[in-house]
């Protein structure tokens, strides 16, 4: 059975109730992470303890698919590379992402080289393999396949970013689409096309009106409003629409859902951290 565990629904704003953006697709004992927002390893550890999704124990976190290189989606990457190693992960972290991902991973290994050296050679009983990361800069198309899942990256429009992806996870029992950060896009409609779960970013259309012209220009170019998402979901026809990476600006989950529902008649839920779908 394939499960979607929302590890973090947050944004760059440091809301203590919302860890940085990260999603886990769990198939049996295998975990496929999307993005590495701040707090990712601790949220995964909590899911492993409280919800007994033991696959999410830190030492099992060994594969991540990055949507784009905005800091809120990647500042948890050093955490994901190094913390699970100290908790016993022996496999290097496998990292897939847009061009620039391999350079980021390489620079992180350089940045933490003193730590790596001390843990390997300073007397700590550490394993000698789990600190490494194997990075893959990928293009749109099938980027990964094993006996559980086929993972396909697709291009999404995210303002001035040259490369930003959404991902499709196709398993034996479900098709799951994670939007990444995106302006409303036909690419999402095509990728979902009646999918089981569409995990999509969103901001409050009503509250944006209070944000001022500069922010209005930015958000309409980079992100998707509740009303736009409702229209998009009507065309994409997900069996369940999961709102995440929500910008509320004072609204609450019920109000975001209400706004989406004015345009979409299907099932919709506004995710909280550690929600399982
Ligand atoms: Zn972004
Ligand atoms: Zn973002």
- Cα of 118 vs centre of ligand 1, distance in Å, is 35
- The pTM of the full predicted model, rounded to 2 decimals, is 0.97
* H helix intervals, 26-153: 40-50, 71-74, 77-86, 101-111, 113-121
Q: How far, in Å, is the centroid of ligand 1 from the Cα of 180?
A: 8
Ligand 1 centroid to Cα of residue 159, in Å, is 9
Which pLDDT value is given to residue 51? 73
Q: d(Cα 219, Cα 203) in Å, to the nearest integer?
A: 8
Cα 62 to ligand 1 centre (Å): 23
Tell how far the Cα of 72 is from the centroid of ligand 2, in angstroms: 6
Ligand (nearest to CA of 37): 2
What pLDDT was estimated at residue 9?
A: 98
Q: What is the pLDDT of residue 52?
A: 77
Neighbours of ion ligand 1 (CB under 5 A): 70, 181
Q: Please tell me the distance between residue 70's alpha carbon and the centre of ligand 2 in angstroms.
A: 6
Q: Which ligand lies nearest to the CA atom of residue 10 in the structure? A: 2
Q: What is the pLDDT of residues 178-229, one digit of tens each?
A: 999 999 999 999 999 999 999 999 999 999 999 999 999 999 999 999 999 9
- pLDDT, tens digit, 9 for 90 and up, residues 1-38: 999 999 999 999 999 999 999 999 999 999 999 999 99
Cα 21 from Cα 73, distance rounded (Å): 6
Q: Which residues pair with 86 in a beta bridge?
A: none
For 219-228, the pLDDT digits (tens) are 999 999 999 9
């Amino acid at each position: 059975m394939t499960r979607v565990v929302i590890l973090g629904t947050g944004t760059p704003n440091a809301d203590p109730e919302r860890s940085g953006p990260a999603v886990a697709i769990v198939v049996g004992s295998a975990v496929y992470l999307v993005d590495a927002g701040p707090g990712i390893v601790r949220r995964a550890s909590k899911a492993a303890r409280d919800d007994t999704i033991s696959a999410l124990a830190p030492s099992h976190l060994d594969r991540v698919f990055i949507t784009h290189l905005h800091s809120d989606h990647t500042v948890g990457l050093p955490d994901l590379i190094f913390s699970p190693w100290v908790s016993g992960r022996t496999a290097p972290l496998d990292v897939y992402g847009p061009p620039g991902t391999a350079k980021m991973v390489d620079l992180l290994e350089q940045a933490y080289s003193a730590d790596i050296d001390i843990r390997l050679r300073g007397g700590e009983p550490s394993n000698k393999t789990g600190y490494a990361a194997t990075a893959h800069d990928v293009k749109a198309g099938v980027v990964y396949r094993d006996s559980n899942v086929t993972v396909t990256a697709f291009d999404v429009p995210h303002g001035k970013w040259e490369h930003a992806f959404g991902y499709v996870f196709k398993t034996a029992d479900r098709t799951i689409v994670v939007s990444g950060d995106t302006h409303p896009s036909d690419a999402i409609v095509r990728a979902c096309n009646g999918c089981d779960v569409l995990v999509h970013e969103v901001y409050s259309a009503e509250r944006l009106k209070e944000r001022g012209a500069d922010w209005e220009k930015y958000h309409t170019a980079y992100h998707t409003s509740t009303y736009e998402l409702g229209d998009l979901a009507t065309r994409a026809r997900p069996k369940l629409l999961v709102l995440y990476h929500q910008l509320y600006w004072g609204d609450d989950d019920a109000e975001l859902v209400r706004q989406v529902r004015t345009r979409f008649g299907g099932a919709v839920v506004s995710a909280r951290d550690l929600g399982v779908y």
